[in-house]
Amino acid sequence: MVSSIGAAAGSSNYYLKVKGELEEAVRGLSYPCTKVFRPSLLLGERQEQRFAEGLAGSVLPHLSFLFQGPLRKYRPIEGTAVARALVAGALEGGNGFRVLEGDEIAKLAG
């Protein structure tokens, strides 16, 4: 499942709150294996253009060196990398409920 960095049911941000509530609902289904991918800003081509995302997508990749330590999970990531990670995550299997962010997504993407 693709969610978003910062997803939390208790968030004051509507988008992050809805994503967090969805994660909690899926967790409640008790599937044998659930992986939640929480990417940061998605980079790549889109049919739909959003001004703020376009601006952030053109600036943040040049500032990736600033995203170190605990901020590393906020590095922008290509949508194609997230797609590769989803496939790899499905193929590796596993048990339980697992949340993947930042570097974990990038590592799975190869």
- Domain ranges across the chain: 32-109
Q: Averaged in consecutive runs of 10 residues, what is the pLDDT profile of the chain (110 residues)?
A: 96 97 96 96 76 62 72 87 96 94 92
User: Residue 74 carries which side chain, given as an amino acid letter?
Assistant: Y
Burial of 19 (C-beta count, 10 Å sphere; 0-12/13-18/19+): buried
Give the C-alpha separation, 6 to 19, whole Å.
9
Strand 77-78 to 42-43 pairing: parallel
- The confidence score (pLDDT) of residue 51 equals 57
- The confidence score (pLDDT) of residue 54 equals 61
- The confidence score (pLDDT) of residue 8 equals 97
- The confidence score (pLDDT) of residue 62 equals 64
- In the structure encoding, which two tokens stand for residue 57, read together? 């997508």
